[in-house]
Structures are given as C-alpha cells and as structure tokens.
A and B are shown apart, each in its own frame.
Chain A
Amino acid sequence: QVLLQESGPGLVKPSETLSLTCTVSGGSVSTSFFYWSWIRQPPGKRLEWIGHFYYSGSMVYNPSLESRATIAVDTSKNHFSLTLTSVTAADTAVYFCAMGLPPGFWGQGTLVTVSS
C-alpha cells in the first residue's frame, strides 16, 4: 500500500513562492511505469491538475501553470516537491500529491492559503 503525505507552509504571502513536499512510503518514486502528480482544489471548486512526472524523469505541466510551477524529485529521500512562484490569492487551494495513471493513491491534502 503506497502512502503519500504532503507537507509545507499553510500560509504564503502574495508574490512569494509556495513550496510543498510529498513524502512517499510503501513505494519508490523511481519505480518504473509509475506516475507521480500534483493536483489542487480551490475551496468549493473543481480539481485542477498541476503536473506530473514518471520514472524517466520527464515532467509534464498544466499549460496554464507551466511558467510558474516546478516539480522536482529526490530519490534519496523518496519524495518529490512542488514549487509555485509569484503566488496570488487564486492559488489558495488544497494541494494533493498522488500516484498512478490515473491517480489511484492520494495524500490527504494540505491547505495553502495565500494572504498577507
């Protein structure tokens, strides 16, 4: 059973950078054929895919966020991360990390609020 856990600041100031980490247990981020993703959900709104990568290290991003989002992998720590630059109130959301294609394993999600 793969378990994922998001962590990071719950409050970020406008124009600053949001940084989150997803720690994986029960599986390896370097395992072949697995997709690892970040998805977010603004309060009361639909889910929004941010981006994902798979074992070859290829990253794919939502075109609407590509200029601000970066996903990185640390195989030594078995975790992957998300950074989102120049945040605004519109980036306030619950951020999920997930695994699978489509994602069948999800973290519990972490709320990030953008506010001064």
Chain B
Amino acid sequence: IVLTQSPATLSLSPGERATLSCRASQSTTNYLAWYQQKPGQAPRLLIYDTSNRAAGIPARFSGSGSGADFTLTISSLDPEDFAVYYCQLRSDWPSTWTFGQGTRVEIK
C-alpha cells in the first residue's frame, strides 16, 4: 500500500486551521498514525488508530477518516506547530508499516 500526502506544503498563519490529507492506494485498516517532526529531531507521535490523541498531545490536534482517506486537523495553529507531518499505516497481516512522504506546514 502506498500513502500519498497532500498538499506537499501548506503555508498558513498562526491561529489558522490546518487540514492535512493522507490517502492510501487501497482501502485499508484504521491503524493510521500521524507524526510531527521538527528539524534534527525524532518524530513525535500525535494520533494513533486514526483518531486517538497520544499522551500529552493538545486537543487542537485531531484525526479522522476511514477506508482510504484520512485527515489530520490542527484547529488553530500555534507557532510551535510549524513542522513536517507524516502519516503512517500499519497493515493487518503481515504487520508491515508504511509512511507517507510528508506535508510541510510553514509560516505564511
């Protein structure tokens, strides 16, 4: 399964809403996760199983979707949210993992 993220780059201002898309090449499980990565750092888990926030993640981050289309929404961008975001899918059997190519959220 191939994951395609769009857009490649999102230019927004602090306080605006960000909507990031992750599309799978076929209908799949709901084991879809989202990560945030800043330069020189390891990825940070935001969302798991499509819509569950990881521990310590602010409520402005939410995930949704099903089938082959998934979305990460940041309701109001904080200055610390400007980063690259990756989606990641776990297939049921075999338990292989796939990452999308990333969406960069930059300050407009």
Contact = CB atoms under 8 A, between A and B. Distances in A.
A60 B98 CA distance: 13
Nearest to B31: A102
B102 to A, nearest CB: 6
Contact of A102 (B41, B88, B96, B101): B88
Interface residues of A, number: 20
Interface stretch (A26-34, A43-51, A76-84): A43-51
A37 B88 CA distance: 14
B42 A109 contact: yes
A47 B55 contact: no
A52 B88 CA distance: 15
B32 to A, nearest CB: 9
Nearest to B44: A106
Contacts, number: 50
Q: How large is the interface on B (under 10, 10 to 19, 20 to 34, 35 or more residues)?
A: 20 to 34
Interface string B27-56: 000010101000001111100100000110
Nearest to B98: A49
Interface string A92-112: 000010101111101111000
A62 B96 contact: yes
Which among B42, B94, B102 has the greatest number of chain A C-beta atoms within 10 A? B42
B4 to A, nearest CB: 11
A37 B96 CA distance: 11
Contacts of B90: 101-102
Interface of A: 37, 46-49, 52, 60, 62-63, 96, 98, 100-104, 106-109
